[in-house]
Amino acid sequence: MSDQSTLLNLGPAVWLLLALLLAVASVVARQALGMPARRLWFAGARALLQLAVVAGAVASLSRSAALSAAFLLLMLLVAAWTAARRIGAAPHITALPILAGVVPVAGLMLATGVLPVQPLAWLAVCGQLIGGAMTAVNLAGRRIGAELRVRRGEVEAGLALGLPPQAARALVARPVAHEALLPALDQTRTVGTVTLPGAFVGLVLGGAPPLEAGVVQLVVLVSLLAVEAIAVAVLARLAEAGHLEQPLAPYPRPGRPRVGGRARG
């Protein structure tokens, strides 16, 4: 058995590999997808900086519940701000579905004793849940927002038929909202056959029994499904209430035409 403590060989070659992979991704994104290459380079540099800072702070965070709670709040704010930029909504609109998904699931994990009352465990588990909720809100918000814009005529037709604005938007938003759950659903369905998650492999390499490692990974995957389902459902409700588009003007009631501000006839 190898005596290395990580899955990969972390020598000088790893930095060359990172640069090459970012270069390939940037070229493909720019040439084939029309995305500015600097966005990928910035994402890579930002990830490196953030991981370096967090790695240095983990020791302090693991000893203080207050610092861990503050860092979780920072995670939530960054997730809400990132999702808000992606879907064009106010940060408090994206924070609500993220919180609605994470809080009850994390609370249930604590109440059942599955999640230890340890600051580092909170950070590791809740961070994954917040990240999953953010991704689901991004996908659902962009999909629902685009659908409401493209099919605005259908919404207005519903208003003309006498439907309330929320019900008229639901005709368009509800059928596409669930698409945001497909990545998490496919990941859960194919785990072990298509992917071997890093947490599972790390636990096995660290000496944990394979069955226990599998149960831990299953808890994470099912928790993410629950969090994302709740987050998408709440966001769909917010979209139906008009928070992801410009307010709809009341549909004009039929009546006698007006000329010069006075009704004819």
For the chain, domain boundaries: 16-63, 65-245
Report pLDDT for 27: 93
Given a contact cutoff of 8 angstroms between Cβ atoms, the answer to whether 184 and 228 are in contact is yes
**What's the CA gap between 132 and 123, in Å, rounded?**
14
H or E element in which residue 86 lies: helix 65-87
Mark the ranges of the chain whose per-residue pLDDT is less than 50: 1-3, 246-254, 257-261, 263-265
- For residue 252, the 8-state DSSP code is P
Residue 7 is predicted with a pLDDT of: 66
Of 203, 183, 61, 206, nearest in space to 119 by CA: 61
- Joined tokens for residue 163: 């439907």
What's the pLDDT score for residue 234? Answer: 95
* pLDDT tens, residue by residue, 148-175: 888 888 888 888 888 888 888 888 888 8
Tell whether pTM > 0.85. Answer: no
Q: What is the pLDDT of residue 162?
A: 84
CA 225 → CA 101, 192, 216, 222, distances in Å?
A: 10, 17, 15, 5
